[in-house]
Structure 1
Amino acid sequence: MFRFLFQSVLSLLPAYISRETLTTLRKLLNSILFPFHFLIFMAQPQPQPQIQLQSHDPPPFNPLQPSVPISYPIKTLKDLASRAYFDSFHYPFNKSTVSLQNAAFELPNRPRILVCHDMQGGYVDDKWVQGGSNADAYAIWHWYLMDVFVYFSHNLVTLPPPCWTNTAHRHGVKVLGTFILEWDEGRTIANELLSTKESAHLYAERLAELVSALGFDGWLLNMEIELDVKQIPNMKEFISHLTQTMHSLVQGSLVIWYDSVTIDGDLQWQNQLNEKNKPFFDICDGIFVNYTWEENYPKLSAAVARDRKYDVYMGIDVFGRNTYGGGKWNTNVALDLLRKDDVSAAIFAPGWVYETKQPPDFETAQNRWWSLVEKSWGILQKYQKALPFYTNFDQGRGFHISIEGRQVSNASWNNISSQSFQPFLGFNDDPNSDTVQVLVDFKEASYSGGANLTFKGTLESDAQFTARLFEGELLSGDSPVHVSYSVKSKENSLLGLIMEFSSPTEGRKLVPITAEGTDQFLGKFSHIIVLDQVQNASGWSILEGEIEMNGYTITGIRAICYRPDPVDLAHGPAQYFAMLGHVTVKTAGQSSYFPPSSSWLVKGEYIKWTSGSEGSKILSIKISWGLLVRIFLHFPKYNVYVEKLAGKTFLNRSGRQETTYEYLGAAYVQAFYVSNLTVPSGVDSLKFIIQACDDTGSIQKLDDSPFFQLDV
């Protein structure tokens, strides 16, 4: 009882004390309690037979049975060796479908930032592959400030949910899972893992296979156990074989060692790269140094690493557990030192902002905290590097979903896979210093997805306000560049874009792109592009046109807020309000093509009917689809609808058949699981419609989309 109580307390301490202290406490606890444990056990009365009460707990999770798709870890070596994960119903849903661009395969030759995500044991809101219902779910959107993202939990094999891989890859960031051995159970697992050279190779190959199949980029190896020194050769075999197998299977893959067990088998965190852990560093792609280092350790580690100093990632614990500088709102203290000493950084648990509910709200606190990183290290990622470029400012959560300005759902939701390119918005500690505030807004109407970029504040008649949106390296080539964007604004509030072009011979040019009120730009810019403007049914203005800047590179996109010329603001406050719904930049030749419905095969599987109330039925079904002929077409997203068809035909006032499509969700693989769909009495059949979306933001017309029809 006492042992269980103490261990329960210890299990809560990692959020407050360092790993080294926790390990010392555990050893002390075991040494104190062991002599008493046997006596306490013998003194306990024998248990008497008891009446078993009926349990209402849900049945244990069975990965072979159809259910709402989730992400989950592998918890035993047996399951890893047997490849049981690939037999799971959930496996096909967990594949990442966004690949790294070629430019992101090799890590840059500079100091880098690795971000290790550790939150509440992992697999929280992000475990729901098709999305959850928590609009306040945790998310990261400062991808331009990191190079590598690690998904961490305390399970044996932590597989990153595909939502993280999809959005990180979209932004040029690599994603690693975690393989961890810890505590007494970890030592037992190590005995099997390292029993022979062949066993070490087997498990290394199983881990590499998972990376290749699921589409992420490698592993963080965290061996926080003591080993017999005789096991070290096979540990090195495991690391080396995993690294080599990964490199042969997955281009640009990484294996990073965590500073824990030493080459002597002792669990002694070195907090630097030295002779105790360098043999492991030498046979993989880098080391994540424990976060309780001292001021001179980064410089010492760089000297040991020599020409691989950027592969040394010095740990920083954002919770501040014995970390240099104290973490939290002083995380930049450690970052400043690492930048000066020219080594890489590993930021552990930036979700501290979310978990500790930093004021005034998550969005503001998150933007403020990451601004410390940007001020210390600057921008690390510029995206995108190839056309087309498309963003709808979606952060992967919200309170509604719109498609081309029409709201299709008013339910709260979260799905990080839906994140489009995130803007490089600056953070201002004094919001009153800017006349116009810029924010990603989830409450106001969106043109696409669940958010828009809102500009609101005050702006005088002759004033202009600009805001950085993106920094990129987009080569426009020799053909015209097609630009389109959507705006919804209040009277006298105009919103345009400024494209920044660069050329080795012609230098830098800023080109405003807008539809009206351009007289005030004359004399300030050498080029002004006036776009065509169309109003859609939902009140959004769609602006589009072409720019000929042959041989230039698009290096930035800014927003510009201004007034029409002339405008009279004498009789009221100069209130400004405008929303930017999406931005698309592509070459004139990058037109959208959607194969007709007849080109697709759509099927339904795992069909399950149950009875509902008032004569209704409840349906669960897996819908999957694919092109009948293999052609090189990739659609990053599919919207899924259902049309409930009744025997009687309902006509609207125009005498046409009334068609109502119910939005079910978005799929990022070619499958979607419909769970517990209510089918009212009187419905004769269900038509499940799969609407393809391409990488320019265009969507297939619903009437032309593939579908699966099911009789009720």
Structure 2
Amino acid sequence: MTEHRSSADPAVGRARPSRRRVLIAGAGTAGLLLAPGLPTAAAAAGTVPNLQPHASYWFPDSLPSGTPGDGIQWRSLKAWTPETDPDLAFNTASVPLAARFAPPPANTTARAGQARISGLAAFDHTAGNPSQGSATADYYALTHWAYLDELVFWGGSSGEGLILAPNAPVVDAAHRNGVPVLGTVFLPPVAYGGDLRWTRDLVQRGADGRFPIADQLIRVARVYGFDGWFLNAETGGGDAALATDMRDFVQYLRTHGHGLRVTWYDAMTDTGAVDWQNELNPRNQEFFTAADSIFVNFDWSASGLAASGTLAGELDRSRYAVWAGIDVESRGWDTPVDWDAIVPAAAPHVTSYGFYRPEWTWTSLPADRRAPGDFHARDDRFWTGPSLDPSAPRSGTGGWRAPAESVADRSTLTALPFATTFNTGHGLRWYEHGTPSSDTAWNHLGLQDRLPGRRWVVHTAGTRPAVSFDFADAWRGGSSLLVDGVLDAPATLELYTARLPLTGGAVVELTHRTDPGSGPVRVEVAVALDGPGTPGTAPRFRYVPAGSLPAGGRGWTTATVRLGQPHGNALHVLGVRLTGSGGTAVRWRLGGLAVRDSAPKSPARPGLLAVTSSATAADGASAALRIGWRRSAGPVRHYEVHQVLPGGGRRFLGGTPGTAYYLPALRRTAGEAVTRLEVRAVGELFTSSAPSSAAFTWI
């Protein structure tokens, strides 16, 4: 992926460097864009010695000459073993890949079973990418998983490492929503520091005929818990023999990976030269047939994509295993794209497509508008369209064809219990039962809930209220769902599509409140129990009263609504209906929503909690700690770590689905000699276990 022309914008007639901020020649330079002003882990830790674990990255075998830059470690994947990996526990994902289904689309133009979407997104630098989040809310907290078929954890540079494994929070969040995550193998152009010996290192064969680096790639993916690899071979100078080795390497990786995904990027051809074809054709088809899919370079044409789809069928492969690359790194939704060449409105879709750098919605935020709410407003527009309503995605201006217009969304809500606190995976503070238990900004996508896939469908005969994730108040986690506007007619907010089995004992719980200054609001749970309808039709809702909230805000309250004997055997759509009074403005928050058919149970207590390493700051006021514990018996959603305060209260320190956590700066309170730490298991209904404890003695 180097400089290219966009065939979708022939009038522009100029090269757009898609990687100018990604591929940097020379050692010691960051390989991936980081948003301006984002604090580093070292800055957050202050004077505390750095024990920070990072996402793993390697060269295939041989290392560059010279000395790596500050904070960069040059490592060989061939020499890697899990047993000697000090950060293994912090980088291992814990959430299994969820199954999902495609309900009837929210509009008549989106289609299931045709075009799919891949995203190549950079969440941080290649080197120095924290394994488990960090102390800032300024982060690419991707939430529109419903439209993605796979996510590529984008990275790699000649100065840091060429092979990048995804960090655990991204994998856990994606898996919770049924999205596979791929690591990146990047062999850069010579102009960006590429060296053909690294390509030869990658495809070297052992004396037994095996590919040792492929075996290591498989091992890493299995041990870390992600789903495959994106292969990008752009180092020029190869020959046909090297191309044959590469093809065999790709085939070996896919065959011996036993279910791992392999996506090939359109760069190297059958001659071994790097020559972007911008289509699937005989020059690159052998790599496509060896892999699961191909990501076509950005200079495609309508005729080239049509030919690609035809050739895929002739090779006994789906045309939707061809991703047409769309570079949105620089212009986002202003990127000119010939959408009809990929997803025509009046004919079957031609191929799938892939976004290169959709985190533009985050990185392009101006310095004075970098709050989490600003990011989500932009991200909703990118994926849903300017209307912010996937049931009517074209009710706006401009040429952007948002994914919601063409691609059917998918859901993982197929089993009880289900619960959400509308936690997006980052926040300005952490809330427990409506009260902040930490005043520190944070991000950790592994704590992200399953969020509404259709943002935001509102059925009303009156004025449409604004709907958003809001970070000024929450019941649990870092955010809540806010409905803000004049309710001059009842408004039904369609939140979740599902296939939740119901019994006569099924209940829906919602925790909600109105803000100070809000008018009163009557709340009903909206459920659709009928089977799938037709695309673009509103569900047949049944409304169950959930109480009324007075004007002015009285704090959080929880309503438990019994659905009674269901008319069907499954819940297909879940939402709420709000009715105002006298046309007054309403600010209503939904902090939690759950569906269950039995009483909540607390998970089992975690096993032994221990401080595995520590480093105290010179002034004795803070310390960096690595801690670990044993997994609880039975199902666990995630674990939460607290500091017990001298007065008896608790301070939230962080959470993870895994069994190890890094505390960059544990604060000493009131000169205490010993600080007690606690870890609790949290279940699907957000019930907590009894704690396991450990003491940290200050020196």
Letter in structure 1 aligned against 2:94: T
In the alignment, what sits opposite 2:529? 501
Letter in structure 2 aligned against 1:138: Y
Residues 1:141 and 2:143 aligned together: yes
Letter in structure 2 aligned against 1:437: A
Residues 1:515 and 2:546 aligned together: yes
In the alignment, what sits opposite 1:695? 684
Q: 2:412 aligns with which of 352, 364, 383?
A: 383
Aligned 8 A contact 1:479 1:550 in 2: no
Deviation string 1:387-420 (CA, Å, 9 cap, x unpaired) is 2222111112221111122210122222222211
Which is greater in Rg?
1
Deviation string 1:623-673 (CA, Å, 9 cap, x unpaired) is 21115xx84x1322122112245xxxxxxxxxxxx4122221113211222
Deviation at 1:192, TM superposition (A): 2.7
Distance 1:123 1:193, change over 3 A: closer
Residues 1:593 and 2:602 aligned together: yes
Deviation at 1:140, TM superposition (A): 1.5
Deviation at 1:348, TM superposition (A): 1.3
Residues 1:348 and 2:385 aligned together: no
Q: 1:272 aligns with which of 279, 291, 294?
A: 279
In the alignment, what sits opposite 2:650? 661
Task: Output the CA distance in 2 between the equivalents of 1:170 and 1:585.
Answer: 17
Matched residue SS, 1:480: coil
In the alignment, what sits opposite 1:167? 173
Distance 1:118 1:21, change over 3 A: closer
Aligned 8 A contact 1:147 1:173 in 2: yes
Q: How is 1:458-473 mapped onto 2 (pairs within 5 angstroms)?
A: 458-460=486-488, 463-473=489-499
Task: Output the CA distance in 1 between the equivalents of 2:217 and 2:94.
Answer: 19
Deviation at 1:611, TM superposition (A): 4.4
Q: Pick which of 182-191 and 391-400 moved more.
A: 182-191
Residues 1:624 and 2:655 aligned together: no
In the alignment, what sits opposite 1:51? none
Task: Output the CA distance in 2 between the equivalents of 1:20 and 1:691.
Answer: 45
Residues 1:365 and 2:339 aligned together: no
Matched residue SS, 1:515: strand
Matched residue SS, 1:395: coil
Deviation at 1:170, TM superposition (A): 0.9
Distance 1:337 1:223, change over 3 A: farther
Deviation at 1:301, TM superposition (A): 0.7
Aligned 8 A contact 1:472 1:555 in 2: yes
Distance 1:327 1:276, change over 3 A: farther
Distance 1:670 1:362, change over 3 A: closer
Matched residue SS, 2:547: coil
Deviation string 1:194-241 (CA, Å, 9 cap, x unpaired) is 343657611101001111011110011111123221222221221111
Task: Output the CA distance in 2 between the equivalents of 1:539 and 1:305.
Answer: 58
Q: Pick which of 225-234 and 674-683 moved more.
A: 674-683
Matched residue SS, 1:456: strand
Deviation at 1:680, TM superposition (A): 4.8
Distance 1:638 1:109, change over 3 A: same
Give the TM-score, by structure 2 length: 0.77
Q: How is 1:158-237 mapped onto 2 (pairs within 5 angstroms)?
A: 158-184=164-190, 185-196=194-205, 201-226=211-236, 227-237=238-248
Deviation string 1:33-52 (CA, Å, 9 cap, x unpaired) is xxxxxxxxxxxxxxxxxxxx
Letter in structure 1 aligned against 2:120: C
Residues 1:112 and 2:116 aligned together: yes
Distance 1:678 1:317, change over 3 A: closer
Deviation at 1:86, TM superposition (A): 5.3
Distance 1:601 1:93, change over 3 A: same
Deviation at 1:183, TM superposition (A): 2.5
Gaps of 5+ in 1: 1-9, 27-57, 60-64, 518-532, 646-657
Task: Output the CA distance in 1 between the equivalents of 2:574 and 2:527.
Answer: 5
Q: 1:73 aligns with which of 48, 51, 57?
A: 57
Letter in structure 2 aligned against 1:192: D
Deviation string 1:260-312 (CA, Å, 9 cap, x unpaired) is 11111121111111111111111221111111101111211111011421211
Distance 1:364 1:159, change over 3 A: same
Q: How is 1:320-359 mapped onto 2 (pairs within 5 angstroms)?
A: 328=335, 332=339, 335-337=342-344, 340-357=348-365
Letter in structure 2 aligned against 1:514: P
Distance 1:326 1:144, change over 3 A: closer
In the alignment, what sits opposite 1:48? none
Task: Output the CA distance in 2 between the equivalents of 1:331 and 1:172.
Answer: 29
Aligned 8 A contact 2:611 2:694 in 1: yes
Letter in structure 2 aligned against 1:542: T
Aligned 8 A contact 1:398 1:414 in 2: yes
Aligned 8 A contact 1:638 1:691 in 2: yes
Distance 1:326 1:579, change over 3 A: closer
Identity of counterpart residues, as a percentage? 22
Matched residue SS, 1:516: strand
RMSD: 3.6
Task: Output the CA distance in 1 between the equivalents of 2:263 and 2:471.
Answer: 37
In the alignment, what sits opposite 2:639? 638
Task: Output the CA distance in 1 between the equivalents of 2:88 and 2:135.
Answer: 22
Aligned 8 A contact 1:229 1:265 in 2: yes
Deviation string 1:523-570 (CA, Å, 9 cap, x unpaired) is xxxxxxxxxx9xxx992111114323275222211221114xxx6x4x
User: Size of the alignment, in residue pairs?
Assistant: 598
Task: Output the CA distance in 2 between the equivalents of 1:543 and 1:555.
Answer: 21
Q: How is 1:301-312 mapped onto 2 (pairs within 5 angstroms)?
A: 301-306=308-313, 307-308=316-317, 309-312=319-322
In the alignment, what sits opposite 1:92? 89
In the alignment, what sits opposite 1:706? 692
